[in-house]
Amino acid sequence: MESAQREAAGRRLERSCHTAFLHSDTLYVWGGYQVVAGQDVMLPSDEIWLCDLDSGKWECKEITGESPSDLFGFCGSNINSTLYIFGGCTPDGYSNQMYSVDVVEPCCSWTRLSDTKGTTPSPRNKHSCWVHRGRLIYFGGYGCKTIGEVQSTSSSSFTVEEMSWATIGNTLFRCWGWNNEVCVFDTHSSTWSTPETRGPAPTPRGCHASALLGNKGYITGGVETAELDIFSLDLETWTWSRFDIFPSGAPLGRSMHTMSSISDQTIFIYGGLGVDGNTLNDAWLFNVQKKGWMKVTHAHEDKPRVCHTACLGGDGDVVVFGGSSHLCILVDSVAVLRAPRQHQCRDILIFQTQPYSLCRLCEDFIGGNSELFGPLLSWLPSKLQTKICKRTACLSAMKPTATSTA
């Protein structure tokens, strides 16, 4: 019975297009979808999953309050322990609603941020966010605008998709497309603003990846280019810069991948859907000072991922969770279709990006060989002893079975 319950809980963890963040060595995972009988099923918005990374144990926590509707393509961001959800698609169409919840509260509750100042961005999904000095800075995405909004927007900032509009009678009143807008939400004053940017901005796009290094936000991919492009935005001067990359040294172009800042000058890229239509398993480092890519050899090359999440953990580890291990896009002369075969994942992949400290190496060795130390473990300080016991339980659980379920 207990094994069946664990398996059922494991199936509930399988998801793609979710959001995740780390707080106090705990991974928080919310939202996303599963594929059931060939159909996308949105996961409940009134629950959030927590994983203690030391022990590997999961638990589900209820969230009360005014929760978001079933969402797809939303953008999740966190400031400390508060999760913010903006945009996405609901069963009724595109959304520009903002919700927040403090996930460490004993009884956490959703709040819809309706009493905001400034002009709320147009409804959208597949956008990204940088968190900088208490601000949520959103970039890009796909969504709808009124004709008036389109007429007042630069043609280089919003690309209208052909055959994507709505009419009342013979009157065109709303259209859909990609944007490269920068929209700022100040969480302290609950105010929206739209800074005027300068420099060579990225083309309108969505399904890209973003990361923050110091006072600059970086984006890659999300467009149909052969090589992975990369841009940065100075979040103080609002100036765009484009990195000129030699095609011979750049990764394959991709979307729905992840990008994580792992040092003051290095970004880590993993997976995504390649421009060849296949799910990718490659990892890359980009040095913003040397302006060069380096491919990374890693232990998870048998685990391609798309629509996953990546968080920076302790000791420089990148913690990847969920996504799909096989999302194939089929293109014919009429339409672009998603292949029905798709494998949702629920495993956690750890990418070591720097040498571990002697303390971390000792913890791992003791946790993996606790039988050698026996009662000596009780001599450790209580906090360290607790951490070692969790690590021992986690490593013991991993030994008899594979670390991945996809």
Is residue 201 within 8 A of residue 156, CB to CB? The reply is yes
CA distances from 167 to 23, 147, 150, 174, 357 (A): 46, 11, 15, 7, 62
Residues 92-131: tens digit of each pLDDT: 889 999 999 999 999 999 999 999 999 999 999 999 999 9
Distance of CA 108 to the CA centre of its chain: 22
Average pLDDT (289-308) is 95
Q: What is the pTM of this model?
A: 0.91
Q: Are 270 and 310 in contact (CB under 8 A)?
A: yes
Confidence of residue 320 (pLDDT cuts 50, 70, 90): very high
Angle in degrees, CA 255, 261, 264, rounded to 5: 145
Task: Give the 3-state secondary structure percentages of the chain, helix then strand then coil, rounded to 5.
Answer: 15, 45, 40
Q: Which two tokens stand for residue 385?
A: 């002893």
The average pLDDT across 351-359 equals 93
pLDDT given for residue 380 in this prediction:
87
What the block records as the tokens of 56 is: 């590997």
* pLDDT at 197 (0 to 100): 97
Query: pLDDT-based confidence at 223, cuts 50/70/90?
Result: confident
* Cα–Cα distance list, 319 to 262, 289, 310, 314 (Å): 11, 25, 5, 9
196-354: which CATH topology? Neuraminidase (2.120.10)
Bigger pLDDT: 172 or 214? 214
Return the amino acid letter for 207: C
Give the start-to-end residue ranges of the domains of the chain.
Answer: 196-354, 366-406
